[in-house]
A and B are shown apart, each in its own frame.
Chain A
Amino acid sequence: MRKTVNQRAWLFILPVLVLVAFNAILPLMTVVNYSVQETFGNNEFFWAGLIWFEQVIGSPRFHDSLIRQLIFTFSILAIEIPLGVIIALAMPRKGVWVSVCLVLMALPLLIPWNVVGAMWNIFALPDIGLMGYTLNAIGFDFNFTRQIGDAWFTLLLMDVWHWTSLVVLLAYAGLVSIPDAYYQAARIDGASSWAIFRYIQLPKMKRVLTIAVLLRFMDSFNIYTEPFVLTGGGPGNSTTLLSIDLVKIALGQFDLGPAAAMSLIYFLIILLLSWVFYTLMMRNEE
């Protein structure tokens, strides 16, 4: 039988194509355009080839931001994923406390990002903030605006506070979807709680955890608002993550060419690492 070709399908995806063209493809192409040209304003452009890419890749400033970014992202993944799973395991499965826990967990996710930054900035101030003042009062020399270690500590703590909930909610959704019979079968076998976690809960949570890792990876790699409000990238450049650096170059110095080249490299890094994560975690799925 001859296969019927229905060209009308294009009509249905056209609105999406137009939308994506305007909000993703066109801006992206503009960035590509900037990345290979030099401009001094007045809408005058000169061909620059791959100079900006070479400059960005060879620049120590970019290396430092990238390393800081990697340290930040892998630290929060290493804390938030296990912590989220542990909290999800500890949450009740039935009863009135379920909704209480879920609402409490969802609260940090509802707060606007710049408010989170401002909250933690005030919370950590050594002279008036609850956390900063308390830490100093019990003998720690804590000042996140001056000491690099303190700044990083506050930054990581803020992100863990803000985003662990997302991992908790995803992991919890995975956990409650496991039928009771699995736990009964494991009890009959005489399996330990570790074995139950390792051979039932973890494999059953694998898909949602993959999503959690990918979401947290991409979000944290793109993070801008919260560290910008909290530390502004300081002290010095010590908490200047990639996106903060990028904005400094693009808007602070108005170096559009290098900033565009950096954006593209940044984008490709995220794409590549997401693919690596996904492939590693889905290795054994059919």
Chain B
Amino acid sequence: MALELKSVAKQVDGEVHIHPTDLTLAPGSFNVLLGTTLSGKTTLMQLMAGLERPTSGQIWFNGRDVTGVSVQKRNVSMVYQQFINYPNLSVYANIASPLKLARIDKAEINRRVQEMAELMRLTPMLDRRPSELSGGQQQRTAMARALVKDADVVLLDEPLANLDFKLREELRDELPRLFADRNCIAVYATTEPMEALLFGGNTATLHEGRVTQFGPTMESYQQPKDLISAQVFSEPPMNSAKVTKQGGEFLLGSSIRWQADASTTGLADGSYMLGVRPHRVTIRPDGAQPVAIRGHVRIAELSGSESTVHFDLNGNDWVSLSTGVHDFDIGAEADFHMDVSRAMYFDDAGHLVGAAGGRAD
């Protein structure tokens, strides 16, 4: 029951939307498509669903080529960013609609709708119309519609993006439970790395129509294949700077230097790209190997419990994320510490060459 994309590509009017992509999604798996807006998440989902036909390549499901099979015959379902329900049907009729179209008998429809409503906590709202529901309830109705027909592939295209913060957290917590005992392939598109980490499963990082990495979420996070995958999987954006290796030491600019560790000591001398996630750049020394750095503060954003400081390090935009509220003078020099024991090193082609013992986070 696996879904396989075999060098699937999509072009529209000569413009490449998806570069040739190979991807195998296992049955019962939860897969996150992570990428910025316009990175190709929606297009990739529409290809998986059969709403769009690939320009080249094949899509196989359950060992069968389904490239030309229309969406109606594929048993997929989809949840959108907008809350899509039939406007003049009740919640009950909305959830029942895919079953009705599949000509399932009434008693069975009733049983499944009631069960799904219970699971989605929609039972008291079954007689209402979508316009009489809150945004969260409307989206739960749309999800109930997608799940009730036991689709083989359930595609969720940024389903929480239009919800306000509290409802988003609530549904986010419910999602893994909803898919836990289903044998369907779930695909979840999001722009937020945090959501990928929350759901676990597998993550595919997308950048400009290319799947840059696909694998278990923790692995994608801790061992990004290349600089781009690491940047996609980091929020706030990952800090990077050119460094030079000389003997057993790394040198950033002219004065910042630190010892190479077990995973990087074998690297040949030369220039590399350093990657450090913002929460590993802190105001107070932290971690196994903190290295002191200095830079001019550009912007300081204080939230209730965290300080996000943008500063300039040798001409690079860097971000530091520290716990606690700290005061900064904009334009003044400030001291930070980066924990190089959690750093990543990339070669000139952008490939990961050292990741602090495979635990770069």
Residues on A facing B (Cβ under 8 Å)? 179, 181-182, 184-185, 187-191, 195, 199-200, 203-204, 206, 284, 286
Q: In the complex, given contacts A188-B72, A191-B101, A286-B132, what are 9 additional A-B residue pairs having Cβ atoms less than 8 angstroms apart?
A: A181-B82, A182-B84, A184-B51, A188-B49, A189-B97, A190-B101, A195-B101, A200-B86, A284-B88
Q: Which residues of B contact A284 (CB under 8 A)?
A: 88
The distance from the CB of B30 to the nearest CB of chain A, in whole angstroms, is: 20
What are 24 A-to-B residue pairs whose CB atoms are below 8 Å? A179-B84, A181-B82, A181-B84, A182-B84, A184-B46, A184-B78, A185-B78, A185-B80, A185-B84, A187-B51, A187-B71, A188-B49, A188-B51, A188-B72, A189-B97, A189-B101, A190-B98, A190-B102, A195-B101, A203-B86, A203-B87, A204-B87, A284-B88, A286-B131
Q: A203-B87, A203-B88, A286-B131 are in contact. Are A181 and B80 (CB under 8 A)?
A: yes
The distance from the CB of A225 to the nearest CB of chain B, in whole angstroms, is: 39
- How far does the alpha carbon of A92 sit from the alpha carbon of B81 in the complex, in Å? 25
Q: Which residues of B contact A200 (CB under 8 A)?
A: 86-87
Q: Which residues of A contact B97 (CB under 8 A)?
A: 189, 191, 199
> Is B25 an interface residue, CB under 8 A from the partner?
no
Best-surrounded residue of A179, A185, A188, A200 (most CB of chain B within 10 A): A188
The distance from the CB of B237 to the nearest CB of chain A, in whole angstroms, is: 30
> Is B76 an interface residue, CB under 8 A from the partner?
yes
- Asked whether, in the complex, the Cβ of A189 is within 8 Å of the Cβ of B51, the reply is no
Q: Which residues of B contact A188 (CB under 8 A)?
A: 49, 51, 71-72, 76-78
Q: Which residues of A contact B87 (CB under 8 A)?
A: 200, 203-204
Chain B residue with the shortest CB-CB distance to A206:
B88
Best-surrounded residue of A189, A190, A199 (most CB of chain B within 10 A): A189
- How far does the alpha carbon of A189 sit from the alpha carbon of B87 in the complex, in Å? 15
Give per-residue flags for B103-133: 1 if the beta carbon is below 8 A from chain A beta carbons, else 0.
0000000000000000000000000000110
- Asked whether, in the complex, the Cβ of A199 is within 8 Å of the Cβ of B132, the reply is no
The distance from the CB of A182 to the nearest CB of chain B, in whole angstroms, is: 6
Q: Which residues of A contact B81 (CB under 8 A)?
A: 181
- Total contacting residues, chain B, CB less than 8 A: 23
- How far does the alpha carbon of A199 sit from the alpha carbon of B86 in the complex, in Å? 6
- How far does the alpha carbon of A191 sit from the alpha carbon of B84 in the complex, in Å? 14
Q: Which residues of A contact B71 (CB under 8 A)?
A: 187-188
Best-surrounded residue of B88, B89, B132 (most CB of chain A within 10 A): B88
The distance from the CB of A162 to the nearest CB of chain B, in whole angstroms, is: 32
Best-surrounded residue of B46, B82, B102 (most CB of chain A within 10 A): B82
- Asked whether, in the complex, the Cβ of B72 is within 8 Å of the Cβ of A190, the reply is yes
Give per-residue flags for B34-59: 1 if the beta carbon is below 8 A from chain A beta carbons, else 0.
00000000000010010100000000
Best-surrounded residue of A190, A191, A200 (most CB of chain B within 10 A): A190
- How far does the alpha carbon of A286 sit from the alpha carbon of B128 in the complex, in Å? 11
- Asked whether, in the complex, the Cβ of A179 is within 8 Å of the Cβ of B51, the reply is no
Q: Which residues of A contact B72 (CB under 8 A)?
A: 187-188, 190
The distance from the CB of B183 to the nearest CB of chain A, in whole angstroms, is: 19
- How far does the alpha carbon of A187 sit from the alpha carbon of B73 in the complex, in Å? 10
Q: Which residues of B contact A184 (CB under 8 A)?
A: 46, 51, 78, 80
Q: Which residues of B contact A179 (CB under 8 A)?
A: 82, 84
- How far does the alpha carbon of A185 sit from the alpha carbon of B46 in the complex, in Å? 11
- How far does the alpha carbon of A204 sit from the alpha carbon of B101 in the complex, in Å? 21
- How far does the alpha carbon of A189 sit from the alpha carbon of B58 in the complex, in Å? 23
Q: Which residues of B contact A199 (CB under 8 A)?
A: 86, 88-89, 97
Q: Which residues of A contact B80 (CB under 8 A)?
A: 181, 184-185
The distance from the CB of B152 to the nearest CB of chain A, in whole angstroms, is: 12
- How far does the alpha carbon of A200 sit from the alpha carbon of B89 in the complex, in Å? 10
Q: Which residues of B contact A182 (CB under 8 A)?
A: 84
Chain A residue with the shortest CB-CB distance to B80:
A181
- How far does the alpha carbon of A184 sit from the alpha carbon of B157 in the complex, in Å? 12
The distance from the CB of B270 to the nearest CB of chain A, in whole angstroms, is: 50
- How far does the alpha carbon of A10 sit from the alpha carbon of B153 in the complex, in Å? 62
- How far does the alpha carbon of A200 sit from the alpha carbon of B82 in the complex, in Å? 15
Q: Which residues of B contact A286 (CB under 8 A)?
A: 131-132
The distance from the CB of A167 to the nearest CB of chain B, in whole angstroms, is: 21
The distance from the CB of B300 to the nearest CB of chain A, in whole angstroms, is: 39
Q: Which residues of B contact A189 (CB under 8 A)?
A: 97-98, 101, 145
